[in-house]
Chains A and B, each alone.
Chain A
Amino acid sequence: MNAPRSTREHRERMLRIALPIVVLALGLALWEATVRIENIPPYVLPGPALILRTLVADWALLFQSLLVTLTTTVEGFLLATLGGIGLAVLFNQSRLVEYSLYPYAVILQVTPIVAVAPLLLIYLPQQAAVLACAWIVAFFPVLANTTLGLNSVDRNLADLFALYGASRGEILWNLKLPSALPYILGGLRIAGGLSLIGAVVAEIAAGSAGAGSGLAYRIAESGYRLNIPRMFAALLLLSVAGIVIFYLLSLVNYLALRRWHESALEAER
């Protein structure tokens, strides 16, 4: 009874890994074949093989740029984490602060960052402007999720804390923050990807102003020079960076919640 079920699960898992790889291989083969058969010039559409060769040939330059973009992303993400959680805690502790500041947090969120980036570049040093963009895009989901989490405390548990005369600080630390943890981690998972987007948007905006050396700047610069293979190689690196960020944060989420939260538990069927 048990054995066939586990083999079926095993096969299911293998398929989940194998199928996307098969699709990728087929797509790349089709792409490469089309480029060769139709004789498409590389400045219109480079084939995957050429993109890979470019990636290897330009590795030193591209890796340098990747580090620049990743540094901005990580800094933006950390500031968004601190700012989002900090602001949410402040809102939770003081209604007056929440009423005063929340509308502006929303305004920051709904104004398209592409439109704000050029302004920031005028008023801030370039590095600071890029960082500010990453932060603005990433902090809101952390703020919104943490606020939701802090307000989702079990009523009876709150009563229990009141019964034993817990102070506000004790309630925050021992009850509200642990209750909010799954929500906070969900917000961080979104913020990780968004801070990469914010960094890229700002670099592109800065790139057109003629400065910068991040990956997005490389893409813009390669575009002007019609170096399409390098554009694709830089884009590939950005995608990989995004995927790595997402899975790292998913791993943190799993490690923090696996013993107690429904979302991280393995289903027992």
Chain B
Amino acid sequence: MPPAAPSRSDTLVALRGVSKTFANGTLALKGLDLDVRSGEFVSLLGPSGCGKSTALRIIAGLSEPSEGAVEWTATARRPESESRIGFVFQEPTLMPWASVADNILLPLKLKGTAADKAGARVDAALDRVGLRQFARAYPRELSGGMRMRVSIARALVTEPALLLMDEPFAALDEITRFKLNNDLLQLWQGLRTTVVFVTHSVFESVYLSSRVVVMAARPGRVFTELSIDAPYPRDQNFRTSAEYAAFCRRASEALAQAMSSQAMAAKGEP
């Protein structure tokens, strides 16, 4: 596949020829090239085992590439960002012993933000996800969707230049998921941040993204990519439109091709 087409947007961070081999010999990624452009919402779409979560962890610096490099564009870093990355895991990953407010405070606390300033930021983050009245609640007292909101609020409290999300809504019911999809789009537009969103749902990736990167497995690599040229803000009308259905069909076809290419590659092996 040819590399990503040049864009007028600036590149925020790029993976250059990234390969990752795990200690047990599994080749998770091979020669992955990916440009994340400032301000875009890009989804990594692919079957299980295509290394999309690994790619996300490498961008976050939680995992080191075996080969290749992660290149950050220095100018892309926003001055008000105390942390350039926010990360939302598959599970809400909250500290069960701490209140909602203390969970959201954690990144600021670890960054040594002054208490009075941090308090105001936590309040703002709570307002953003509509959980102000639950500040003193404990995670287990909340529903799954609310916990995920707390997790998103925590990731955004440092106002990161880049928000990385690893299948954050996979465990939620569809109604909650649709609601959180809409809220996430609003947050993304309001904060003008950049999002890399890992998912195995065609419909979710098309609904949210300005660009969908389709990945194939064994070894994990970029198969192709689709530009979702539908205007934001997107809402229920977009979700039921013929345009949306057409994008979903194209994305599904691309995913099917990615999976058959990986089946052929598997057959080709001795």
A residues bordering B, Cβ < 8 Å? 154, 156-157, 159-166, 170, 174-175, 178-179, 181, 259-261, 265
28 contacts between A and B (CB under 8 A): A156-B89, A156-B90, A157-B93, A157-B95, A159-B62, A159-B89, A160-B87, A163-B62, A163-B83, A164-B83, A164-B106, A164-B111, A165-B111, A170-B110, A174-B106, A174-B109, A174-B110, A175-B95, A178-B95, A178-B98, A181-B97, A259-B138, A260-B96, A260-B97, A260-B139, A260-B140, A261-B97, A265-B140
A265 to B196, CA, bound (A): 38
Complex: A163 Cα to B164 Cα, angstroms? 12
Cα distance A260–B138 in the bound complex, in angstroms: 7
Mostly, the B contact residues are: loop
Query: Within the complex, what minimum Cβ distance (angstroms) separates A262 from chain B?
Result: 8
Cβ contact of B85, chosen from A154, A163, A166, A178, cutoff 8 A:
A163
CA–CA, A154 to B95, complex, Å?
A: 9
Across-interface contacts of B91 in A (CB, < 8 A): 156
**Which 9 pairs across A and B sit closest by C-beta, in order of nearness?**
A156-B93, A164-B110, A260-B96, A156-B89, A178-B97, A166-B110, A260-B97, A164-B107, A260-B138
Nearest to A171 among chain B residues (CB) is: B110
**Residues on B with beta carbons closer than 8 Å to the beta carbon of A260:** 96-97, 138-140
A residues within 8 A CB of B146?
Answer: none
Which residues of chain B from 49 to 91 have a CB within 8 Å of any chain A CB?
57, 60-62, 83, 85, 87, 89-91
8 Å CB contact of B60 from A157, A163, A166: A163
- A-contact 0/1 string along B101-137, CB 8 Å cutoff: 0000011011100000000000000000000000000
| Among A154, A164, A174, A259: residue with most chain B CB under 10 A | A164
Size bracket of the B interface = 20 to 34
Q: A157-B93, A175-B95 are in contact. List 11 more A-B contacts (CB 8 A).
A: A156-B91, A159-B57, A159-B87, A159-B89, A163-B60, A163-B87, A170-B110, A174-B109, A178-B97, A179-B97, A261-B97
B positions within 8 Å CB-CB of A: 57, 60-62, 83, 85, 87, 89-91, 93, 95-98, 106-107, 109-111, 138-140, 158
Q: How far is the CB of B84 from chain A (nearest CB, A)?
A: 10
Q: Note all chain A residues with C-beta closer than 8 A to B109.
A: 174
Chain A min CB distance to B161 (Å): 14
Partner of B96, one of A156, A161, A261: A261
Q: Say how far B1's CB is from chain A's closest CB, in angstroms.
A: 31
**Residues from chain B with Cβ under 8 Å of A174 in the complex:** 106, 109-110
A177 CB, nearest partner CB in chain B, Å:
10
Contact partner, B110, options A159, A165, A179, Cβ 8 Å: A165
In angstroms, Cα B138 to Cα A160, docked, is 19
Residues of B within 8 A of A157 (CB): 93, 95
Query: Quick one: closest A residue to B164, CB to CB?
Result: A163
Q: Complex: how many Å from CA A235 to CA B61?
A: 62
Q: Which chain A positions have C-beta within 8 A of B83?
A: 163-164
Q: Which residues does chain A contribute within 8 Å of B89, judged by CB atoms? A: 156, 159-160
Chain B: CB-nearest residue to A261? B96
- Kindly state the separation between the CA atoms of A170 and B95 in the bound complex, as whole angstroms: 14
Q: Give the docked Cα–Cα distance between A257 and B61 (Å).
A: 34
Query: A253 CB to closest chain B CB, in angstroms?
Result: 14
How long is the Cα–Cα vector from A162 to B139 in the complex, in angstroms? 22
Separation in Å of the B53 CB from the closest CB of chain A?
11
Q: Return the contact of A154 from the options B61, B87, B93, B138 (Cβ within 8 A).
A: B93
A163 to B82 alpha-carbon distance, docked (Å): 12
Q: How far, in whole Å, are A17 and B98 apart by their CA atoms in the complex?
A: 35
